[in-house]
Amino acid sequence: MFYEKLMDRLNHLIEVGEEILKTKHPHLTPVVEVIDDYYVKDDTFYQWRAGALSFLKTVFGNNSTHFQEFYHRCRSSLYEDALQGQSILKAAKEDIEGGYLKKLEDLVAADIFTDLLEMAEYLLEQGYKDPAASLIGAVLEDGLRKIAKNSGITLKSKENISSLNHKIAGVQIYKRLAQKQVEVWNEIRDNADHGKFSEYNADSVKDMCSGVRDFLEKYL
């Protein structure tokens, strides 16, 4: 399941990268109106860059070729920088799908929730509440799945936070109050995933992050 989440996140980053490249536009030198370079949309680029760096650091490590190349070659909203960053993400996908990463195997077997929540905290500190909310939601969903399996609950091939929460509360692993809190977090995650960014704020995502951390420590 973690592998699927990992690939979903990477595929999403690559898709966003393609959309960013489509925003290519010339920068005109003042007065003489000569095109001196091409750029992509600033705000979207820097949000994408932060998410990509966090992903590469978590999966490959900050001393890896993937992370270092992206960090140094994809620094600004120059079109060429974005193009190189996109190429590095595609190379990372090939490596993961090829099964060459021993570290990935370790990540799959290990409890990585703390690292992922720290990544979400970093995104929040950088002002990126929306990818942080999506990431925390993914951590919560994986955590609920583990809680359910550890409790002997039969799961279908496709479950989400809502269905997992219902099943776990149904066998009284936790009480109604905790179930309602999970529903609140699920709503934030859904709003983030569906682009309803005005439905929540950074403070609510920050509370979600600390709350999910405490919740998993208690029930997992």
Domain layout of the chain by residue ranges? 2-107, 115-219
pLDDT at site 1: 56
pLDDT at site 146: 86
Below-50 pLDDT ranges, the chain: 32, 34, 106, 108-110
pLDDT at site 114: 80
pLDDT at site 173: 93
Q: Which residues of 194-206 are buried (b: 16+ CB within 10 A; e: fewer)?
A: eeeeeebeeebbb
148 burial level (CB within 10 Å; 0-12, 13-18, 19+)? buried
Secondary structure (DSSP) of 41-69: -HHHHHHHHHHHHHHHHHHH-TTSHHHHH
- The CATH fold of domain 115-219: Four Helix Bundle (Hemerythrin (Met), subunit A) (1.20.120)
In terms of pTM, does the model score above 0.85? no
What is the distance between the alpha carbons of residues 118 and 70, in angstroms, rounded to a whole number? 20
Q: State pLDDT tens for residues 15-39.
A: 999 999 999 998 765 554 545 689 9
Widest CA span in the chain? 72
